Amino acid sequence: MKTPHRILLAAAVCALVAPALRAATPLPNIVVFIADDHSQADSQAYGSTEVRTPNMAKLAADGLKFTHAFVASPACGPSRTALLTGLWSARNGAEPNHKPKNPGVASLPPVLHALGYEVVALGKVAHNTYAAGHGFDFIEGPNQGFSDTAGVAKFLATRDAAKPLCLFVGTRHPHVPWSDERTYDPAAVKIPPFHVDTPATREQRAAYLTDVTKADTLLGEVRAMVREKIPGDTLFIYTADHGAQWPFMKWNLYDVSTRIPLIIAWPGHLKPATTSDALVCWPDLLPTFIELAGGQVPAGLDGKSFAGVLRGTTTTHRDRVFATHSGDGDFNVYPIRAVRTRDWKYIRNLHPEFQHHTHISRSSGPSGIAYWKSWLTAAETNPAAAATVTRYSIRPAEELYDLAADPHELHNLAADPKQSKRLTAMRADLDAWMKQQGDTQTVFGKPLLLGEPATLIAPGNTKKK
């Protein structure tokens, strides 16, 4: 595969400055542990009292916790491609899930390589097999993410420890299918206010929390290996690609999907047990690494380095973040765009004449259909359950939320005359951003129109069942 011209240009610039910088200051090692489908709120570090995540809590106690960290998209492929390119989806080409970036779009791992790093992806870092197109020096699967740390141990035992390392490690947990184990009591779990409380929901909530704790255990194992096997100055990050696979979460632009954990420990640089409310997003991560390594961040990125926040020279970063979602096969054909400021969220559902559905409600596989059917049954006699089911599948053209007063985004203020000026301003802001991005608002897949039956689709294909 030929290296795109922009990668070569950026790498050449970085290569010129790297030797002098390395002579003055050793490069910090960087380790990024990525969970799959983990909502920020489901962590002790972020205030949860029901889930056991002691290693996340220890990482936060040792470093800096970001409370306002966001991803660019609530699906695995687009989110991870935005991370590795520093570009939002319309510009990198990975708009629907299961689509790689467009040919010729530059990735950022080669820039770190040119600065002297060995840049490595273990497990699920990019989506599917797409890591091969992002310029890593070494890649090892499984590409769906690991369930143990044997591969990490093997890599760290055999690499040349004299070279600075940028290591991305991706687990599959807590992505579905969730474990058959239950280390939580279904009767004791807490059901979010935007879900329907049924026995099946409780069983699956307990399974999800079990897998969150599994991800936390693996995090602890990897961190222990890093302390033992990677000498010198090391920055360690825990984060996730988007929220959990539940209704109104994954494949949606509500905060429970796009607001993710981001915890960074960097001994000698970050004060322990500190918190930042700076608005940051996943496309900002690699530009930050490049700046911390003394390199030149390539021009034209959407991502912006927040190295100043880590160095303590500033407490702010962005004044707003954007997010997009296009779809995931025929399971989920529902393009959405959003802009979020500190306290407000504006969501545009590009095609409100489509039904909103996901794997949860259309897949015949183990993705949620059992508890979803229990929601449908509850909706037959329970008005609150019926309202939740309707809200899930039928969306208005626009949504506006006061996040300070309504953190669960349950009360849409788009039709409130008191908010007309704010609605107009945020609508224009999103319009301008979409134009700047070259967003063509493409519909990927066959939509399910209002009034059509929500037929099931077999996993792995888009044939109706």
CATH numbers and ranges of domains, the chain: 27-316 (3.40.720.10), 322-437 (3.30.1120)
Q: Are 15 and 105 in contact (CB under 8 A)?
A: no
Residue 378 confidence (pLDDT): 98
Question: What CA–CA distance (Å, rounded) separates 35 from 211?
Answer: 10
322: left (phi over 0), alpha (psi -120 to 50) or beta: beta
Q: Are 38 and 44 in contact (CB under 8 A)?
A: no
- The pair of three-digit structure tokens given for residue 63, joined into one six-digit string: 């470093």
Residue 24 confidence (pLDDT): 52
pTM (2 d.p.): 0.94
- The pair of three-digit structure tokens given for residue 442, joined into one six-digit string: 């493409």
Residue 16 confidence (pLDDT): 39
Taking 50 as the pLDDT cut, the residues of the chain under it are 1-23, 462-465
Q: Are 44 and 219 in contact (CB under 8 A)?
A: no
Residue 459 confidence (pLDDT): 84
Q: Are 416 and 344 in contact (CB under 8 A)?
A: no
Q: What is the pLDDT of residues 21-78, one digit of tens each?
A: 444 568 999 999 999 999 999 999 999 999 999 999 999 999 999 999 999 999 999 9
3-state secondary structure of 140: strand
Question: What CA–CA distance (Å, rounded) separates 247 from 237?
Answer: 28
